[in-house]
Amino acid sequence: MRRALYEETHDDFRRSFRSFVEAEIVPHHEKWEEAGRVDREMFSAAGDAGFLGMAVPEEYGGLGQADFRFNAIIGEELQRVGAIGSGMCITLHNDVVLPYLMHATTEEQRRRWLPRMVTGEIMGAISMTEPDTGSDLGALRTSARRDGDSWVLNGAKTFVTNGLNADLYIVAVRTNPQPRHKGISLVAVEDSTPGFRRGRHLDKIGLRSQDTAELFFDDARVPADNLIGDDGQGFRILMENLAQERLGLCVSAISAARTALGWTVDYCAQRRAFGTRVLDMQNTRFRLAELAARLDATQCFVDHLVELHNRGELTGEDAAKGKLLTTELQQAVVQQGLQLHGGYGFMREYPIARAYLDAPIQTIFGGTNEVMREIIGRTLEGTYGSGGVA
């Protein structure tokens, strides 16, 4: 049954993308999990099929569909088949990277990059985290010094999604010595930049087909006109785009939870113990019933957040609430699912086992859930304090 969030055009898009996933991703997912990265041909095929840059205006080759529901469908369908690792190159490109290049760039930059990002010729990545900073962007040390018509970058980044396969990296750098966030800028670094190199292919416990790498900049010389936005305005631009990034994580987490609950219900309906189906045991039904109730309620909240975002009304606080709720629920569902699978839940041939390994990162990237709690906590007095509740 179609959720109220979606309309007929979204159903058509879902059918089309589902067919793409079944043909281009599912048959290769296990191979890519072993290799630690996807084949670029799949990403190019996504561009050919119209699944990249849907929000990009038509004048730059996109569909001009600035409707996040299309992005949400992509995330839902990838989680439906348990292949988010292989499809994350698409969701990161659409949900996280493209907004920077659409809204914070010059006309010349948009014409230079956007058409090739829509076709899949260019895969994007964003590089914020450093080995010693984690979620604290104000502590970043990668520097960019202006030298004539270039920026010269020095430093290192880590945990870069699409780190191996990307062609264009949006890199957070410090361009002036002002303290904390005031000196941060964004620079677009192309993979052919002298002095730029990719480091280790990081060995993760989950999402193995999603390539993650270190990046190094040793007097890397980047054209001055690759600066995104104004000098020193990088942190402001990052904050403006984080709400959509976290909304994408909400969609992914709630969809993963729904898929894992489905696997668990099916398994418990087939598995027998002590002469009865596991699903007919009261303890099993009660535990799954609680998770189902939480999932449906949280799904309503996520759908509401998507609607708010489409109206331009999604706040950072609400996005943080969504990320906290959905990712914590995802952990609860996969943990309970693994437990109810018994010993088979520990076998990687069962999708619940792989989901158990993929899930923990959801509470970490996009800002850890501890940071989400801090963001929400700062609003408590004004929202729920004396006289704050209607």
CATH of the domain at 131: 2.40.110.10
Number of domains in the chain: 3
* Residue 388: predicted pLDDT: 58
Is there a single domain that holds both residue 177 and residue 109? no
What pLDDT was estimated at residue 9?
A: 96
Q: Which amino acid is at 268?
A: C
- Residue 133 is predicted with a pLDDT of 77
The predicted pLDDT at position 137 comes to: 75
Residues of the chain with pLDDT under 50: none
Task: Name, in order, each residue with C-beta under 8 angstroms of 373's C-beta and a sequence gap of 6 or more.
Answer: 324
118, 144: one domain: no
Indicate which residues carry an active-site annotation: 245
State the pTM of this model. Answer: 0.93
- What's the confidence (pLDDT) of residue 23? 98
pLDDT of residue 153: 98
Per-residue pLDDT at 138: 74
Could you tell me if 156 and 67 lie in one domain? no
**pLDDT score recorded for residue 243:** 94
Q: Tell me, what CATH number does 76's domain have? A: 1.10.540.10
- Is 117 inside a domain boundary? yes
Cα–Cα nearest to 337, from 272, 273, 278, 275: 278
Check residue 3 and give its pLDDT. Answer: 82
Same domain, 328 and 370: yes
Q: What pLDDT score does 383 carry?
A: 85
pLDDT value, residue 1: 53
Q: Give yes or no for a contact between 366 and 245, defined as CB atoms under 8 angstroms apart.
A: yes
244 and 116 together in one domain? no
- Per-residue confidence (pLDDT) for residue 180, from 0 to 100: 77
- Does residue 390 lie in a domain region? no
**Domain range enclosing 360:** 236-382
First to last CA, the chain: 35
